[in-house]
Amino acid sequence: MTTDLDYRFHAMGSDVRLLIGPRLLRRAPPPLEAADREREFVLAFAHRLSRFVSDSELSALNRDPRSEVPASALLRAAVHAGVWAAERRGWLLDPTLVRALRRNGYASSLDGAAPASLPDALAAAPARRPARPDPRAGWRRIVVEDERNVIVRPPGLTIDTGGTGKGLCADAVAHRLGAYSRFVVDCGGDIAIGGIGAQLEPYRVEVEHPLTGLSIGSIAVSRGGVATSGVNVRIWLDRRGRFAHHLIDPSTGSPAWTGLIGATALASTALEAETLSKMALLRGPRGAREILADQGGVIIHDSGELETVGPIELSAGMSTSAMTTS
């Protein structure tokens, strides 16, 4: 079995893990040097796109009184990814729900904060229903103009790239690791896998149960993206003592309680997998089955029941090179 460099650090409010195999090209730096390089890339990526950092590029965009704002290639790519995700089937992943997040108690970073009890939250949650789009959604008024290096949007419209940022970052780092025989980039559960060596010896991606934190099995992946969305990691009590989480129903501006507490998706990229997993969770059990049918996935019901969907094989075993989605 190939021995990969296993490198970990903290960024974007999550644990980041890199597995890097041997070099394919002599001019490529050794895996440890490459990992150090990618750590600096991820930390800079996170700082520049954080809505919690006052001097970030995203915060500057949200404060700018102009309707057309000059923007770096990274900021344009991040905003474009958010709009791309919003345009997907269902129109549920709105990157302009910052005010709703703040109103529900997510005004500052929850990094390091202990999550509230998911079982207690489920017991107190309202009747379950699929999330629905908002026909007046702000994302429809965002235009990214790469030719002029600007982002166009109504002044005062606030944007959050966090919903797609980790997937975008994982894909970017994966692209930068193309000179290595095999690699995994795990940005807080948004995972990109690649390299010819991974096709010969696939990684096993372990999936955790959101209620127990225990493994429910693993998926063999040789290339592409895997992502899990759940309500267990970022869940809190708001000022009124009500349970809230970060997955918002655009039609109400409140946390979505859909009958699902977790969804894992497979796709060609980490960004796409992240998008599909969130869409699945927001659509509820029936909608999730439609979303995940083509490329496969796993959903976890409020009851804790596990359900696999589409072309996916969930194995009870895992290899020593497994990653974990949570």
Q: Are β-strands 260-267 and 297-301 bridged in parallel, bridged antiparallel, or unpaired?
A: antiparallel
Residue 21: exposed, middle, or buried by beta-carbon count in 10 A (0-12, 13-18, 19+)? Answer: buried
Per-residue pLDDT tens for 45-54?
999 999 999 9
Judged against a pLDDT cut of 50, whether residue 326 lies above it is answered with no
Residue 324: per-residue pLDDT: 47
Residues 6+ apart with CB under 8 A from 136: none
Domains of the chain: 5-325 (3.10.520.10)
Is 94:250 a contact under the CB 8 Å cutoff? yes
Judged against a pLDDT cut of 70, whether residue 317 lies above it is answered with no
Per-residue pLDDT tens for 154-185?
999 999 999 899 999 999 999 999 999 999 99
DSSP 8-state class, residue 12:
T
Is 315:219 a contact under the CB 8 Å cutoff? yes
User: What is the C-alpha to C-alpha distance for residues 134 and 43, in angstroms, rounded to an integer?
Assistant: 33
User: What is the C-alpha to C-alpha distance for residues 286 and 219, in angstroms, rounded to an integer?
Assistant: 23
Residue 163: per-residue pLDDT: 87
Average pLDDT, the chain: 95
What is the model's pTM? 0.95
10: its two tokens: 């903290």
User: What is the C-alpha to C-alpha distance for residues 7 and 139, in angstroms, rounded to an integer?
Assistant: 36
Through-space distance between the first and last CA atoms of the chain, rounded to whole angstroms: 26
Task: Determine the average pLDDT of the residues in 65-76.
Answer: 98
Residue 229: per-residue pLDDT: 96
Per-residue pLDDT tens for 189-245?
999 999 999 999 999 999 999 999 999 999 999 999 999 999 999 999 999 999 999
Residue 92: per-residue pLDDT: 97
Amino acid identity at 71: A
User: What is the C-alpha to C-alpha distance for residues 145 and 152, in angstroms, rounded to an integer?
Assistant: 7
Give the helix, strand, coil percentages of the chain, each rounded to 5.
Answer: 30, 25, 45
DSSP 8-state class, residue 311:
S
The total of other beta-carbon atoms located within 10 Å of residue 315's CB is 12
Residue 1: per-residue pLDDT: 55
Task: Determine the average pLDDT of the residues in 12-38.
Answer: 97
User: What is the C-alpha to C-alpha distance for residues 278 and 265, in angstroms, rounded to an integer?
Assistant: 9
DSSP secondary structure, 152-195, as one string: E--TT-----HHHHHHHHHHHHHHHTTTBS-EEEEETTEEEEE-
Residue 316: per-residue pLDDT: 79
